[in-house]
Every structure is written in C-alpha cells, then in structure tokens.
Structure 1
Amino acid sequence: MITKLKLLLFACLISLASSAQDIESPTKQFWNTLKSHCGKAYQGRLELPKEDKDFGGKQLVMHVRKCTETEIKIPFFVGEDKSRTWVLSYENDRITLKHDHRHEDGTEDDVNFYGGTTTNTGKADLQLFPADEHTQKIIPAAATNVWWITINDTTFTYNLRRLGTDRVFKVVMDLSETIKIPDAPWGWED
C-alpha cells in the first residue's frame, strides 16, 4: 500500500511540475501578444500632451516590422518623419526597450539607444521600463524617465513619464484595424 501511495504521490508531483512549466510568465505573455502583431501596421493618435508641436496633428503609424524569438522592432512614424524605431529585446524573462533614432540618410542620431529594462515580470498587458545608466549618461535629464507599454485586443499604448517633472507623453494605437504597410524607416535596408 505504501508503495502505491508513493507512486501516486510521485505521479502527482511530476504532473504539477509539468503544469508549472507550461504556465507562461506575464512577461512572456506580453511578449507573445506583441509578437502576434508582427507584419501588421496600425494608426494611432497623440493622447498626451494634448498640444505638441512635434506630434500634434500628424499621422502616427506603428509597424511591427521585424520579430524574432528575442527581438521585436517597431518603427514609429510621425507624419513624414521615419526616424524612430522602438526596439524590444527579450532575455531571462525581462524585456528591454530601446529607442533607435536615425537621420534621413540612415546614420545614427547622437542621442540613440536610450531606454530601460523591466525589473520584474510585470503584467501580461503592461510592462514598465525605468531609465537605465546609458540613458542617464546621454540624456541626464531623463534619469527619472519611466516608459511603459500596454497592450490588449484593441489598443497599444506607448507612455513616458519623467518623474519629478511635468513631462508626460502618451500615444494610443488602434489595433482593431490594420493599415497599409508603410515604407521602411530611415536606415533600414529591407
């Protein structure tokens, strides 16, 4: 009887361990949701600040253009300006957000690859990216930046808050309707 009980207990432990491995972390769920939009483009709007000379009144487009198991590149166009790409990297159940800025000829901007890495698994629909050391070095005022991205069935939001200041930025992209795939961003070969 004890042998049967041990065998049953052992089988239950194996089943529990197997089930635990099948459960995706919130980080991985977020990553897979974002990755499911690969190859699609969406239009959005500026939510905050309400009036902005660089973004206000311009067509905002994001294109989830390139996806691998560890990297997602999302060009973000502001009118005719194709200088911005959000680069997300996945490693060790954490996501890093970097901003790749290019000139029209494809060369890197002097202020480039700033951003941050999640400090925990976040939520399946929300990931936070506090500014990293590189950001603090190249943009000292951005040392208190916190970016966050939310995603659900109908919207993707990109947000920025500079803690201790009035600096806030939010764009909302409509995921319910795809748009025509835009041309490549500045600096891309394909």
Structure 2
Amino acid sequence: MTLKHTISIITFLFALPLIAQEPDPSEAFWNRLQSHCGNAYEGNLALPEEDESFGGKKLVMHIKSCSDSEIKIPFFVGDDKSRTWIFTKNNGILTLKHDHRHEDGSEDNINFYGGTASNTGKANIQFFPADVATQKMIPGAATNVWWVTLDDKTFTYNLRRLGTDRVFKVVMDITKPISTPEDPWGWVD
C-alpha cells in the first residue's frame, strides 16, 4: 500500500463521524418548516389556472402549531377556513394528513386523508403517496401523490392523481410574513 492510499483511507475514516452527524433529509425538511412556526404567508394558485374553488381567492397558510412530532398549518381559501395540513414525524418518516372542518367546527365526512412518505425524501422535498385509509375513504384518490417543496423563498403544496389529468399546485411566498389570521374553523388549542 502506498503512502497516498494510506492517507486517502485515513482521510475517509476521519470524515465518517462528520457524515454521520448531518441530519437526515426528512429531519432537515422538518427543521426548516418548523423554523417558520408562528408565521403566516400568502400565495397563489399555480395549477390549474382556472379553478372555481381556488382561483382568484386570497390563499393564506399559517404555520400555527409546532411540536417535536407535529406541525399544523391552517390553509385559508378566501373566507373558507376549513382546511388544516397536519405533518407528523415518526422515526424520521413524515406523514401529511388533511383536516377538513365545517364552519361550526364539526369534522367533514371526508377528513384526515393523506399519506406517509415511503422514505426520508430530500431536505427540500417530501412525497406522500395516498395511504390505505385514504383509498378506502376516497376510492378515486388511491393514486394520489402529494408533495411539498420548501426552500428559502417558497413553500409549494402539490397534488397529482396518477393516471388522470388531476393536478393541483399552490405556491406560498415565505419571504414576506403577513398578519396572523384568525383561527381556522374548529381549532382547539
């Protein structure tokens, strides 16, 4: 073994502890999202451009509640305060669920659907394929894949129903916090 090979091996061995100390991608994503806790942001509908439920309405997300294992983000569409995205973390794997409420705070019949990531994803993107509970609740959503991207400028919430033309994308500007909105429907601290 040459001196050059020996130095390369020693350099590699000393680098191992540094590699092991870096957070896994889902943890990096989680920490970045959690760093916005308490802030609210405005965004816009990117896809589909002509959507009667979301088009032309003020879109606001409020990263309202954060703990070590759960982040709740109410998402308002105009005056509709029925939606909350719920991210949970379990052993480095993230889950996204959707909490839908009526104006009186009662649960919608279609509630807590979503999916769990199949791996740790990347620090700037997490994928959530529809889970079994979602498939049973909404048979047409069996091929849903949600994904969220997060960088220094934007948070995007995306949905694609594989095998169909169904696509949805909201882009939130996270460089400019806005005034904190009222509580979503049914919110309990």
TM over 0.5: yes
- 1:83-112 deviation per Cα after TM superposition (whole angstroms, max 9, x unaligned): 000000011110000000000111100000
Q: Secondary structure at the match of 2:73?
A: strand
Displacement after TM superposition at 1:121 (Å): 1.3
1:111 aligns to 2:110 (yes or no): yes
Displacement after TM superposition at 1:20 (Å): 4.0
Q: Secondary structure at the match of 1:99?
A: strand
Q: Output the TM-score relative to the length of structure 2.
A: 0.91
Displacement after TM superposition at 1:21 (Å): 3.9
Displacement after TM superposition at 1:23 (Å): 1.0
Q: Output the TM-score relative to the length of structure 1.
A: 0.91
Aligned to 1:164: 163
Displacement after TM superposition at 1:18 (Å): 4.2
Aligned to 2:152: 153
Q: Matched residues in 1 for 2:171 and 2:105: separation? A: 27
Unaligned runs of 5+ in 1: 1-8
Q: Matched residues in 1 for 2:18 and 2:156: separation? A: 32
- 1:124-158 deviation per Cα after TM superposition (whole angstroms, max 9, x unaligned): 00000000000000000000000000000000000
Name segments (4+ residues, structure 1) moved above 6 Å: none
Percentage identity across paired residues of the two chains: 63
Unaligned runs of 5+ in 2: 1-8
Displacement after TM superposition at 1:22 (Å): 1.7
Q: Matched residues in 2 for 1:91 and 1:17: separation? A: 26
Q: Matched residues in 2 for 1:34 and 1:181: separation? A: 17
Q: Matched residues in 2 for 1:76 and 1:180: separation? A: 14
Q: Matched residues in 2 for 1:97 and 1:21: separation? A: 27
Aligned to 2:143: 144
Q: Matched residues in 1 for 2:68 and 2:85: separation? A: 16
Q: Secondary structure at the match of 2:133?
A: helix
Q: Secondary structure at the match of 2:75?
A: strand
Residue 32 of structure 2 aligns to which amino acid in structure 1?
A: T
Q: How many residues align?
A: 180
